[in-house]
């Protein structure tokens, strides 16, 4: 039975979670934003407020809408606070066991008719759905980063996803004024299946000494008309996320062309994860980013 989606729970107040909460609230949905850390929740609300203010400054939103949007987002420190949500979207770290634990913990507090979605960028929707009590009401909704600016959402059905769930998910994404692309439930879906091997190949190009960080990024910006170079993009995505997606591709498709570059592994081992840790293929601690190789 289809339910009207009015209240949306978002699990995870990081970059993706706060972006999803932002677009849901700006589109008129009531939002419960959940995270284990109150500091992360406060930081997320400040980020959303700042991003909404930028939209006002650009003329994309008026001040009354900004205030109404931020008022629709209620921080939630417990899963019990999500018990009356019509849809809950998990946007936690890209780690399968973490996601499965979240789903096993959240299901008992949700209404039986509530929909459940994952914002995973690479992990099997069928497998994640199997860790819930409602695989037929489970779907993959992969938002692009940064969510408020990016137009696309990949929609992925698991093997058990019912048609009603699929149609409700499509209606919901359209209500956010986003464009839907349908992907089959294969490792990394469409965008990351194509994008991350390109990023990984750029890292191999650096690793093998074919070019420096600057020359590789300049080549792809000006030679392929990409808005940012692949190594700059890797830092933006997070090198840990890049590695995780490449591992999913390598393990899921058993093809050596998806082997993560050893240099990517080394950077992640060093804790140099890109922008979020101030160092990756660039060092962000000074006035302007400087290549680290």
Average pLDDT, the chain: 96
Given a cut of 80, whether residue 50 has pLDDT beyond it is yes
Give yes or no for residue 70 having a pLDDT over 80.
Answer: yes
Q: Look up tokens 């991003």; give the residue.
A: 51
Q: How is domain 192-291 classified at the architecture level of CATH?
A: Orthogonal Bundle (1.10)
Confidence (pLDDT) at 112: 96
Q: Residue 285: what pLDDT? A: 97
Q: Which of 34, 118, 124, 192 is catalytic?
A: 192
Mean pLDDT of 182-192: 96
Give me the residues paired with residue 75 across strands: 33
The arithmetic mean of pLDDT across residues 58-63, rounded, is: 92
| Residue 13 in tokens | 């107040």
Question: 141-165 pLDDT, tens per residue?
Answer: 999 999 999 999 999 999 999 999 9
User: Could you tell me which residues come within 8 angstroms of residue 150 by beta carbon, excluding any fewer than 6 positions away?
Assistant: 143, 144
Residue located via tokens 């109150």: 38
What is the C-alpha to C-alpha distance for residues 183 and 174, in angstroms, rounded to an integer? 16
Give the confidence band of 38 by pLDDT, cuts at 50, 70, 90. very high
- In sequence order, which ranges of the chain are alpha helices (DSSP H)? 15-26, 38-57, 63-71, 96-106, 125-129, 163-175, 191-207, 213-223, 230-237, 239-253, 262-269
Q: Check if 121 is active-site.
A: yes
- Give the mean pLDDT of 17-42: 96
* DSSP classification of residue 274: B
Query: Cα(221)–Cα(26) distance, rounded to whole angstroms?
Result: 33
The average pLDDT across 27-48 equals 96
Contacts of 250 (CB under 8 A, 6+ apart): 256, 258, 259, 260
User: At residue 114, does pLDDT exceed 90?
Assistant: yes
Q: Any catalytic annotation for residue 142?
A: yes
Residue among 255, 100, 92 at smallest CA distance from 186? 255
Check 18, 51, 119, 121 and give the catalytic one.
121
Find the angle CA(64)-CA(6)-CA(45) to the nearest 5 degrees: 50
Half-sphere exposure of 35 toward its Cβ, with a 13 Å CA cutoff?
Answer: 23
- Whether 1 has a pLDDT exceeding 90, the answer reads no
pLDDT tens by residue, 231-286: 999 999 999 999 999 999 999 999 999 999 999 999 999 999 999 999 999 999 99
Residue of 124, 154, 200, 244 marked catalytic: 154
Nearest in space to 159 (alpha carbons), one of 120, 128, 193, 202? 128
Q: Which two tokens stand for residue 178?
A: 């986003």
Alpha carbons 135 and 161: distance in angstroms, whole number: 6
DSSP string across 76-113: ESSGGGGTT-SEEEE---S-HHHHHHHHHHHGGGS-TT
The question of whether 154 is a catalytic residue gets the answer: yes
Q: DSSP class of residue 275?
A: G
Place of tokens 């400087």: 290
Q: Which of 90, 118, 142, 244 is catalytic?
A: 142
**Does 219 score more than 70 pLDDT?**
yes
State yes or no: is 122 an active-site residue. Answer: no
The CATH number of 7-183 is 3.40.50.720
Is the Cβ–Cβ distance between 66 and 57 less than 8 Å?
no
Cβ–Cβ < 8 Å for 251, 287: no
Residue 2 pLDDT more than 90? no
Cβ 246 vs Cβ 237: under 8 Å: no
CA distance 107 to 115: 10
Q: What are phi and psi of 220, to 5 degrees?
A: -80, -30
CB 213 within 8 A of CB 293: yes
What residue ranges do the domains of the chain occupy? 7-183, 192-291
3 confidence band (pLDDT: 50, 70, 90) = confident
């Amino acid at each position: 039975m289809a339910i009207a989606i009015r209240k949306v729970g978002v699990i995870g107040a990081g970059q993706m979670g706060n972006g999803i909460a932002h677009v849901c609230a700006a589109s008129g949905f009531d939002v419960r934003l959940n995270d284990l850390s109150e500091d992360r929740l406060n930081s997320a609300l400040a980020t959303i407020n700042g991003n909404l203010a930028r939209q006002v400054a650009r003329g994309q939103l008026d001040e009354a809408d900004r205030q109404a949007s931020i008022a629709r987002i209620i921080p939630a420190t417990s899963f019990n606070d999500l018990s009356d949500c019509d849809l809950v979207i998990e946007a936690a770290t890209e780690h399968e066991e973490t996601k499965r634990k979240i789903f096993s913990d959240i299901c008992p507090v949700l209404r039986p008719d509530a929909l459940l979605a994952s914002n995973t960028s690479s992990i099997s929707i069928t497998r994640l759905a199997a860790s819930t009590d409602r695989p037929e009401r489970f779907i993959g909704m992969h938002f692009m980063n940064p969510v408020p600016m990016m137009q696309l959402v990949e929609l992925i059905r698991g093997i058990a996803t019912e048609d009603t769930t699929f149609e409700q998910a499509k209606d919901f994404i359209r209500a956010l004024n986003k464009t839907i692309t349908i992907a089959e439930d294969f490792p990394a879906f469409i965008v990351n299946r194509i994008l991350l091997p390109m990023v990984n190949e750029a890292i191999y190009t650096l690793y093998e000494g074919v070019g420096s960080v600057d020359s590789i990024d300049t080549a792809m910006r000006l030679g392929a008309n990409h808005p940012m170079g692949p190594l700059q993009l890797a830092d933006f995505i997070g090198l840990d996320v890049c590695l995780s997606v490449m591992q999913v591709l390598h393990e899921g498709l058993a093809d050596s062309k998806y082997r993560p570059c050893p240099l990517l592994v080394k950077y992640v081992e060093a804790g140099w994860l890109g922008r979020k840790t101030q160092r990756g293929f660039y060092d962000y601690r000074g006035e302007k980013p400087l290549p680290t190789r």
